[in-house]
């Protein structure tokens, strides 16, 4: 029996997997207390051979499945008391499991982890969007934990039935909401994971948020509408309707003041969210960059409906 079972879903992750496994193998933590499981989802590159070369357990699925099903398949092979979900394009700090050990015996905590940080040589898009994930607090309770760096007590995971295999994205949000009645969800910034494949351009950012948004709406059917979810669901629609309406008034020759008013109303939530995220470390550069990304984010999430 292990304390931790680290489960890594992988499909054509040859570029990133070796550095991920290297960071796990070199943990400042007893090797006999954790296991590493790579679940291959139909790779046709060297993903599987890399995993075998590192001496970790490999589970090969017969056909491609959703990311939720891939993670659940890894759980079936896991022996640890705590299930750890880590993405193949991440690396972890050497004290990652030592920091996580603090929560091993916390029966009041169902899930823990932290938002991933960005690598040293990040683009401005990565740096600006990272401001959204930052918190002034090192340790705090939250409503959901990202599955790029997610620790879940196995007894709680099994009790809620694991990941919803119908979801291709936002499965971490759905699981977190079902875990909340069983215990706290804690974000601890000391449990450090570095994500090496965040969107590096505006175009990549748009397509990722549009993709994530599709199952964000599907998840509502599964767990119902949460009050704190309403802004992320309604604001993109509000924003897009006003933007399109402003273009419509301009094309149809309405007075400019109407077009300007609609554009200004569309920007109100964008400016407000941008200010909330950077008010503790304000700079004009950060403000402009994040303002632009929030405009792209709202439009992408609205387009996810169609």
Q: pLDDT tens string for the chain (306 positions)? A: 789 999 999 999 999 999 999 999 999 999 999 999 999 999 999 999 999 999 999 999 988 899 999 999 999 999 999 999 999 999 999 999 999 999 999 999 999 999 999 998 899 999 999 998 888 889 999 999 999 999 999 999 999 999 999 888 889 999 999 999 999 999 999 999 999 999 999 999 999 999 887 766 555 555 556 656 656 678 888 999 999 999 999 998 888 999 999 999 999 999 999 999 888 888 999 999 999 999 999 999 888 876
> How open is the CA angle 93-137-236, to the nearest 5 degrees?
95
The whole-number pLDDT of residue 219 equals: 55
Dist. CA 65–CA 96, nearest whole Å? 29
Judge whether 39 and 70 are in contact, CB under 8 Å. yes
pLDDT at 233: 72
Report pLDDT for 94: 97
Using DSSP, state whether 17 is helix, strand or coil.
Answer: helix
Per-residue b/e over 74-89, b at no fewer than 16 CB within 10 Å?
bbeebebebbbbbbbb
The two structure tokens encoding residue 139 = 């340790």
Domains along the chain with CATH numbers: 2-195 (3.90.550.10), 225-303 (no CATH)
Residue 293 is predicted with a pLDDT of: 96
The pTM assigned to this predicted structure is 0.89
Which secondary-structure segment (H or E) carries 171?
A: helix 171-179
Residues 6+ apart with CB under 8 A from 161: 178
Which pLDDT belongs to residue 221? Answer: 56
pLDDT of res. 142: 94
pLDDT for the residue 2: 87
- The DSSP symbol for 229 reads G
Q: How far apart (Å, rounded) are the C-alpha atoms in residues 201 and 86?
A: 24
């Amino acid at each position: 029996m292990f304390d931790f079972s680290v489960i890594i879903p992988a499909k054509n992750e040859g570029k990133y997997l070796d550095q991920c496994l290297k960071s796990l193998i070199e943990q400042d933590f007893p090797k006999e207390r954790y296991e590493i499981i790579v679940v291959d989802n139909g790779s046709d590159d060297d993903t599987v051979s890399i995993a075998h070369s590192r001496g970790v357990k490999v589970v090969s699925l017969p056909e491609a499945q959703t990311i939720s099903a891939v993670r659940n398949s890894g759980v079936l092979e896991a022996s640890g008391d705590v299930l750890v979900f880590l993405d193949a394009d991440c690396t972890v700090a050497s004290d990652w499991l030592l920091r996580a050990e603090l929560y091993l015996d916390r029966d009041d905590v169902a899930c823990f982890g932290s938002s991933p940080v960005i690598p040293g040589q990040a683009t401005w898009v990565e740096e600006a969007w990272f401001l959204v994930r930052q918190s002034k607090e090192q340790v705090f309770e939250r409503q959901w934990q990202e599955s790029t760096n997610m620790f879940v007590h196995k007894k709680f995971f099994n009790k809620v039935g694991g990941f919803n295999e119908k979801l291709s994205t936002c499965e971490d949000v759905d699981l977190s909401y079902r875990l909340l009645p069983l215990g706290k969800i804690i974000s601890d910034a000391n449990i450090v994971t570095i994500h090496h494949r965040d969107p590096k351009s505006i175009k990549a950012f748009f397509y990722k948020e549009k993709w994530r948004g599709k199952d964000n709406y599907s998840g509502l059917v599964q767990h119902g509408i949460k009050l704190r979810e309403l802004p992320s669901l309604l604001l993109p629609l509000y924003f897009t309707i006003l933007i399109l309406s402003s273009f419509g008034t301009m094309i149809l020759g309405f007075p400019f003041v109407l077009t300007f008013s609609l554009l200004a109303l569309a920007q109100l939530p964008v400016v407000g969210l941008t200010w909330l995220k950077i008010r503790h470390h304000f700079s004009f550069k950060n403000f402009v960059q994040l303002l632009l990304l929030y405009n792209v984010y709202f439009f992408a999430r609205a387009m996810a409906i169609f």
